[in-house]
Structure 1
Amino acid sequence: MAAAPSRRIRQWLPYTAAATAGLVVIAGAFVFVGQRDGDTERPRADCATKLEVTSSTEKVALLVELAKQYNSSDRSLEGGGCAQVHVSGLNSGAATEALAAGWTGTGLPVPQVWLPTSSLWTGQLRLLDQAAGRAPQTPDHRYPSIANSPLVIAMPKPKGELVRQRGLLGWGEILGLSGRQGWAGFGKPEWGRFTFGKDNPNLSTSGLAATIATYYAAVQRSSDLTRADLADPAVTQFVRRIEANVSHYSDDSVDLLRDLAEADLAGGGASTDDMSAIVMQEELVHLYNEGALSPRRDGEERGRRPNVPLVAVHPKEGTFNLDHPFVVLPTADERQRVAADDFFDFLTEDPQQRSFARLGFRDHKRGAPAELLASVGPEPTGGLTYFDPPDPAVVEAMLDSWSTLRKKANILIALDTSGSMEAAVGNRTRFQVASAAAAEGLALLNAEDRVGLWSFSSETSQRPNSPYREEVRLGDFDQKKITSRIAGLHVEGSTALYATVRAAHKQLTERYDPERINAVVVLTDGKNEYSRDNDLARLLTDVALDPDRPVKVFCIAFDRDSDFATLDKIAKASSGKAFDATDPATIDEAFVKLVSSF
C-alpha cells in the first residue's frame, strides 16, 4: 500500500505543475507573484523573526495586504521582539507537490506556514511523506481555519429560485435525475437540457470537494466514507449518473464565471451557454454577483454587477466545506512558531475577519455575515450540514475511481500543418514542439474517450482537393496510432482556419453523442489565410452553441503569430475556450488545461 500514494501524485504532476503558473488573483485583473521585500508601511528595527507564508491563490492578495498591516503594527511576540511576515502565492496542489519534493523548483522562499484552500491537501501531503518513509510534515488531522467557504450549486437566479420552490432536494435530484427530462421536469421545457459545470478534481480543490460531496450523497452519510463504499455498484451508478450531466470540465471555475459574466452583460442577462449550474465554493458566487468577475474598463476595481445574479442552492444531504487551514510546518523554529501563533491570532481578529467577509468568505468559525447571505441567498432552515473529510487514502482511491466514472468525450483534433510550422523554436520547429505537447496531452485522456485527428493547411500537392484531411477516423481512442500519424505529417501550405473549424464542427454535430462531451480541438500557429473562406461572422454563426446538441470548440493559439483574439471569439461562440500558448514554452501547460476539460 505504501507505493500507491506516489503513483497517484505522479499522475497529478502534469496537472499541478501547469496550475503553478496560474497565480491569478480572483478579485482582480492582475497576476500576483509575491509580496515584495520590505513591502511594509512602517518596518520595525526589532523584528528579528522572519516568517515565510505560502497561501493558496484565491486569497493571496488579501493575505499580502494583511501581512503589510501586521508588519506595520505595534504587535510584540511572547518573549520579546516582533515578526516580519512575508507572503507568497502558490496553487494548493502545486504546493503539496513542492513540499513533498523539498520545495525545489518553485522560485519561492521555503515557507514556515502553509495556507492551502482545504485540509484535503494536508492529507495528501501526509500520504506522500509516508510513502517516502519520512516524518509527516502535516501530522495533525485538524488545523484551525482562518476562513471558510462551503461548496454550493450555483444557478442563475430564476432557475435557482424555481429549484428552491420544490423544497429540499438532494445532489442526485438536482444534478442527476433532472438530466434526461431537463427543465421539463420543473415545468420549464423551454429551458431545455439540464447540464452543469464543475472543475476537474485532479486540478481544482473545489472540483475535488464536489466529487467527495457526490460520493457522500450516494452513501447517504456525512462521515466515515470507506473504500468499500467506493466499490458499491449503487454508489458508482449514482456518481456516474451525475457525471453524465456535466457540460464540460474546467481547470478553473473562475474562467467559467468570467465567460458567464461577459455573456450576461453583452446579452442583457441572456446566455447561450448550455450549463444550468456550476458546482463551486460560495465565495465565488458572491464575487460574481458583486461584479468582481465581470469585464472592467481601465481604472475600475470591479466591473458591473451581472443582470442575472447567481444564487447558491444547498443540497439536502449536506455539503463539503473548504476550511482554509493554518498549517505550521516543521521548517519553523521555536521563534517562528511563536510568530505563527501571533499571526494566526491577528488573522482571526474581527477587523481582519471583516476583510475576508468582503471577499465572500465565512469567518474562521464558519459564521456567515448577513451581507454574504443577502448576496448568495439564504441557508436552509437550521443551517448547513457538513461532510467530514474522508481519510486521505480514500480520497486517493476516489480519484482513481473518478477517472472511469467521469463523462466520456468525442474529441476531433485539428492540427495545423501549414508551412509556418517549420519556423524554429529553439533547436526544434514549431511543429515538433506542438507534436510533442500533443502526445503528452493525449496521454492524459481517458481510454474510453473517442478521438479523431485531422490535419489542415490549404490545398497542397499531397492534399490537392481540400485544405483539411482526416488522418485518423473518430473512434475508439488509439493513442499509439494518433501519435504515429502526427509524427508522419507533412508541413506546407497556408492556414485554412475557418474552413477547417466549420467542417470539423459540422462533422461532430452530425455524429453528436448525447452521452458524451462533444468537442473540436484546434491547434494552430497562425491566422486564417484562406481566401475561399474568409467570413468570420458566418463561422461564428455556424459554430454558435446549440443547447440541444452542444459541440464546443477549444483552441490552442501556438506561437506569437497566432490570432488569439479570433480564436477566442470562435471558442466563446460555441461555449468552448481558447488557451493562450503564444509563448511556445507554455504549450505543455495549455494542453494540460485543455485536457482537464474532458
Structure 2
Amino acid sequence: MRTPRLAALLVVAATVVASCSNGGGSDEVAEEGNPLGDPGDCIVVDLAVSSEKAALMTQLAQEFNSSEASDLDGGRCAFARPQTKASGAAADLLAEGWDEQVEGPRPVVWSPAASTWGAVVNQRLEDDGQAPIVGDAEPFMQTPLVIAMPEPMADALGYPEEPIGWTDILQLSRDPEGWAAYGHPEWGPFRLGKTNPNFSTSGLSALIAQAYSSTGKTEGLSREDLANPEVAAEAEAIESSVVHYGDTTLTFLNNWYRTDQRGTSLTYVSAAAVEEKSVVDYNQGNPDGNLEAGERPEPPEIPLVAIYPEEGTIYSDNPYIVLDAEWVSDEEREAAEAFEDHIKDPANQQEVLEFGFRPGNPDVAVDAPIDETNNVDPTQPSTLLEVPDPDVMVQLLDNWSEQRKSARVTIALDVSGSMGDPVEGGGTKLELAKQAAIEALEEFKDDDEVGLRIFTTGLGPDEQAAYVDVVPPGRIGDTREELRAEIDAQFPRAGTPLYEVTQDSFTDAIEAYDPARINAVVVLTDGRNEDGSTEDDEEQLEQLLSDLGRSTTGELATPVRVFPIAYGADADLEVLNQIAEATNSTAYDASDPESITKVFTAVVSNF
C-alpha cells in the first residue's frame, strides 16, 4: 500500500547548481554546471531552491556576488550559491536528515515553491521530538495556482463572463457526455491533468483547493471536513477524470505543446492545475520555461487560458527561509540576510517580473508579461484560501493515496545480457534495477493492477519467445509478494527485442483497456533494439510509432501511455523519447545506473 509522506519520500531532483538560461517548470531539475565561480574567502550562503526559480536565483546570485551588495562589515564578503532541490525532496531531507555526501551542502537558506512545505517540516520534526527549524519568512515573489485550459474549451464554458471553479470541474468529471454537453463531441470526454502532490507544489495546492471547494469554506479546513463522506465522494469523482499523474507539470505542458503542433491538443488534456507562471511561459512559446542557447520561442496555435477558480486559490509564495538550524552560523545568517536584501530590492524585483513571477515587494507593480496578452489576469485572484494546518495536509495526502484514480500497469523489464554489466558503485545494472523495481512496488495502492513482463531473446519453452509474463496483471494487494519474488529471481540473458515487446505490450494493454483506470506500460531497457531479426530496424520502428500514435490521434478511444526508462549510457534515449511522445507520455533518463531508484519511483508517480 502506498504510504505517502508530504515531504515527498521520492527524492527525484538531483542536487545540482542551476545553470539554465530561463525559468523552469515546477520542481524540475536544472542542468548541471557551476556558473557562480570560486567563492574565495567569502562567507558562503548555500541555498536550496525549487527549480522553477533556479535560473532566476542563479542570475541574482551572480549579480550579488560581483557587486558591493555582497560586502559585509569588517571587510568580509558574502557569496550566494544556489542549488536546485525539489520542494518536497528538500522537505523530506530537512526533516529526515541531509546527507551532504549525496545531496550536496546543507542549506543556510531554503526557498521552496510554497511556505506550506515549511509548516510540514516543522510538524514532522515536532512529531519526532525535535525543535522546528523553519520560522516566519516573507515571499520574495509569488505565482497563484490556476486551472489552465485551452482557449476554445474555456470559451465553450463561457469564461471569463461565467466564473469557473472546481465545482465545474467536478460537474464535467461526472458528465458522461463530456464535451458533447457543450456542443463539442469531437473533443471527447473531459480529461484532467494533475501532478502527484507528494512531489509537486501545484499538485498539493490543487488538492487543498479541491477540498475547500467541497466544503464551501475558504479557511479552517479540518480533519472532520475531510472525513465527510460527501467530500470524499467529490474528491474521488474529480480524480476519476485524471489522464495520469506525474512528478511535475512539465509533462502536461510539453505534451500540450507537442500535440498543438500536430493539431490534436484539444483531445489530449482538457485542463491541468499549474502555476500562473507556466501559462505565461507556454503562451510565449516556451512550455518548459527553459530556452536553450539559440532557441527561438514559437507561440502555440491554441493558447492556454489561466482560470482563477471562483472558490479561491493558493499562492506559491516562494518564501526566503533562513533556517534556524544548528548548522547555520551567525555569520552565515548575516550573509544570508544581505542576499535577501539584494533580491528584494525594487530593481531586482523587476527581474522577477521578467521571469513571469509576481514581485514580492509591494512597491513593484505587477506588469508585463503578467497581462491579458498571455491570457492571465493581474487583478486576480479575488479570493485566497487559507493554508490548512500541517496535520490536515498530511491527512489530505493519506486520503488521496486511496482516492486517486487506480492504475493498470505492465512493467516490462529488460533482462538482456548487458544488464549483467557491473556499475561503478558495485553490483550489476540488473541488480540495481531489481532493487529499484521492488521498492517502487510499495508506491502502488492495493487496488492497482500490476503485471511483470521480462524480455530478451530466446525465452519460453521453445526458446523462441521475445518476452514472458512472469506475473500477469492483477490486483497488487494480492500479488505484491509474488512480484517481489519474481523480480528478485531475474538474471541477465541474451538480446534486446525492444520494439517487439513495446509493440505487443501496448497492443495487450489496448485489448485489456479499463476506462476506470490509468492504463500504462513501463519499459525499462539498457540498450537498443537487438532482436536478431533480419527485419529492417527503421521500418520496424516506423510501424511501432505509427501504431502507438493511434492512441493519441483519436483513432483509438483507449489512451494507453508507454513510459520508457533509458537505463545506462547505452540505452537509445532518442528512440525512447519518440516512443514516449507517440503516446503523450514522458521518457525518463537513468543514464547513470545509480539513479535508477529515484527514476523508477518518479515513473510510478504517474499512477
> 591, 594, 602: which one pairs with 1:582?
591
Label 1:563 to 1:213 Cα distance change in 2 as closer, same or farther (>3 A).
same
1:497 aligns with 2:498: yes
**Residue of structure 2 equivalent to 1:385:** 383
Letter in 2 for 1:438: A
Label 1:109 to 1:486 Cα distance change in 2 as closer, same or farther (>3 A).
closer
> 221, 225, 229: which one pairs with 1:225?
221
Cα distance, 1:364 vs structure 2:
1.1
> 86, 95, 108: which one pairs with 1:91?
86
Aligned counterparts of 2:171 and 2:461: Cα–Cα separation in 1: 48
> 531, 534, 541: which one pairs with 1:536?
541
Q: Is the partner of 2:213 in helix, strand or coil?
A: helix
Q: Is the partner of 1:97 in helix, strand or coil?
A: helix
Cα distance, 1:20 vs structure 2:
3.4
**Residue of structure 2 equivalent to 1:314:** 308
Cα distance, 1:436 vs structure 2:
1.6
**Residue of structure 2 equivalent to 1:280:** 274
1:422 aligns with 2:420: yes
Aligned counterparts of 1:448 and 1:527: Cα–Cα separation in 2: 34
Q: Is the partner of 1:521 in helix, strand or coil?
A: strand
**Residue of structure 1 equivalent to 2:208:** 212
Q: Bigger CA drift: 439-448 or 159-168?
A: 159-168
- The answer to whether the 8 Å contact 2:191/2:270 transfers is yes
Aligned counterparts of 2:534 and 2:170: Cα–Cα separation in 1: 45
* CA deviation profile, 1:147-204 (whole Å, cap 9, x unmatched): 1100011122222233344711221312553453221122111111211211110011
**Residue of structure 1 equivalent to 2:358:** 362
Unpaired runs of 5+ in structure 1?
1-6
1:471-510 equivalent positions in 2, closer than 5 A: 471-477=470-476, 478-489=479-490, 491-510=492-511
Aligned counterparts of 1:79 and 1:295: Cα–Cα separation in 2: 38
Letter in 2 for 1:351: A
1:134 aligns with 2:134: no
Q: Identity over aligned residues, as a percent?
A: 35
Aligned counterparts of 1:395 and 1:51: Cα–Cα separation in 2: 31
**Residue of structure 2 equivalent to 1:345:** 341
Label 1:118 to 1:383 Cα distance change in 2 as closer, same or farther (>3 A).
closer
Cα distance, 1:73 vs structure 2:
3.6
1:100 aligns with 2:95: yes
Cα distance, 1:300 vs structure 2:
1.6
Aligned counterparts of 1:62 and 1:250: Cα–Cα separation in 2: 24
1:151-550 equivalent positions in 2, closer than 5 A: 151-165=145-159, 167-174=162-169, 176-178=171-173, 180-265=176-261, 267=262, 269-271=263-265, 274-293=268-287, 299-300=293-294, 302-331=296-325, 333-334=329-330, 336-364=332-360, 368-379=366-377, 383-426=381-424, 427-460=426-459, 462-477=461-476, 478-489=479-490, 491-530=492-531, 531=533, 534=537, 535-544=540-549, 545-546=551-552, 547=554, 548-550=557-559
Aligned counterparts of 2:147 and 2:451: Cα–Cα separation in 1: 34
Letter in 2 for 1:473: P
Aligned counterparts of 2:217 and 2:38: Cα–Cα separation in 1: 50
Letter in 2 for 1:358: E
- The answer to whether the 8 Å contact 1:172/1:242 transfers is no
Q: Bigger CA drift: 408-417 or 126-135?
A: 126-135
Aligned counterparts of 1:122 and 1:499: Cα–Cα separation in 2: 48
> 51, 58, 62: which one pairs with 2:52?
58
Q: Is the partner of 2:114 in helix, strand or coil?
A: coil
Aligned counterparts of 1:93 and 1:519: Cα–Cα separation in 2: 25
- The answer to whether the 8 Å contact 2:415/2:430 transfers is yes
- The answer to whether the 8 Å contact 1:35/1:87 transfers is no
Cα distance, 1:432 vs structure 2:
2.2
Q: Is the partner of 1:250 in helix, strand or coil?
A: coil
Letter in 2 for 1:169: I
1:125 aligns with 2:121: yes
Q: Is the partner of 2:286 in helix, strand or coil?
A: coil
- The answer to whether the 8 Å contact 2:173/2:238 transfers is no
Aligned counterparts of 1:289 and 1:169: Cα–Cα separation in 2: 20
* CA deviation profile, 1:545-569 (whole Å, cap 9, x unmatched): 2452101111112222222211211
Aligned counterparts of 1:215 and 1:406: Cα–Cα separation in 2: 14
Cα distance, 1:12 vs structure 2:
5.2
Cα distance, 1:397 vs structure 2:
1.2
* CA deviation profile, 1:411-464 (whole Å, cap 9, x unmatched): 012222233333333543332222221111112111110111222223446353
Letter in 2 for 1:444: E
- The answer to whether the 8 Å contact 1:115/1:327 transfers is yes
Label 1:273 to 1:580 Cα distance change in 2 as closer, same or farther (>3 A).
farther
- The answer to whether the 8 Å contact 2:415/2:491 transfers is yes
Label 1:229 to 1:370 Cα distance change in 2 as closer, same or farther (>3 A).
same
Aligned counterparts of 1:390 and 1:312: Cα–Cα separation in 2: 24
Aligned counterparts of 1:136 and 1:294: Cα–Cα separation in 2: 35
Instruction: Provide the TM-score with structure 2 as the length reference.
Output: 0.88
Letter in 1 for 2:600: F
Cα distance, 1:489 vs structure 2:
3.9
Q: Is the partner of 2:352 in helix, strand or coil?
A: helix
Q: Is the partner of 1:248 in helix, strand or coil?
A: coil
Cα distance, 1:380 vs structure 2:
9.4
Q: Is the partner of 2:270 in helix, strand or coil?
A: strand
Cα distance, 1:295 vs structure 2:
10
> 556, 563, 570: which one pairs with 1:561?
570
**Residue of structure 2 equivalent to 1:595:** 604
Q: Is the partner of 2:358 in helix, strand or coil?
A: coil
Aligned counterparts of 2:324 and 2:508: Cα–Cα separation in 1: 57
Label 1:298 to 1:275 Cα distance change in 2 as closer, same or farther (>3 A).
closer
**Residue of structure 2 equivalent to 1:3:** none
Instruction: Provide the TM-score with structure 1 as the length reference.
Output: 0.89
**Residue of structure 1 equivalent to 2:36:** 36
Cα distance, 1:309 vs structure 2:
2.0
Cα distance, 1:36 vs structure 2:
2.9
Letter in 2 for 1:517: I
Q: Is the partner of 1:437 in helix, strand or coil?
A: helix
Q: Is the partner of 1:441 in helix, strand or coil?
A: helix
Q: Is the partner of 2:564 in helix, strand or coil?
A: strand
Cα distance, 1:475 vs structure 2:
1.5
Aligned counterparts of 1:249 and 1:151: Cα–Cα separation in 2: 17
**Residue of structure 2 equivalent to 1:4:** none
* CA deviation profile, 1:316-337 (whole Å, cap 9, x unmatched): 1011111111222225555555
Cα distance, 1:476 vs structure 2:
0.9
